Amino acid sequence: MRTDVGGEVASTLSEFYAAMYSQCLLASRDASISLMEETIRNIRTVRDAWKQAASSEDARNTLPREQQTPAERMQLARPTSLAIVPEEPTALTHRWSA
């Protein structure tokens, strides 16, 4: 996790992931099904929060540029719609017309 970009949130998530890794090791060492299931529940909770955040249009538009994927940066750079207004046909009126 890049704490220089994500600050306290990145630091907290890094600690959470390290704790979950440790729990996985302990559950494996002790052959503890209940500890492994608890670890899986915790990870799924965070995964679901990430999914919800990723699906939010507001969240995607407020991410700092450093945290956006190249595809997200391209999407935000494009105009959402192009309004082309047809002009009324007019006669050529410049000085070189025949």
Residue 83 lies in a domain: no
Decide if 43 contacts 16 (C-beta within 8 A).
no
Residue 47 lies in a domain: yes
Residue 88 lies in a domain: no
pLDDT at residue 22 is higher than 80:
yes
Helices first, then strands: H and E counts in the chain: 4, 0
- Please give the share of the chain, as a percent, with pLDDT higher than 70: 70
pLDDT digits (tens, 9 = 90+) for 38-71: 999 999 999 998 888 888 777 666 667 777 778 7
pLDDT digits (tens, 9 = 90+) for 8-18: 888 999 999 99
Mean of the per-residue pLDDT values of the chain: 79
- Inter-axis angle of helices 3-30 and 33-55, to 10 degrees? 150
Residue 50 lies in a domain: yes
Where in the sequence is the domain holding 49, given as residue range(s)? 3-77
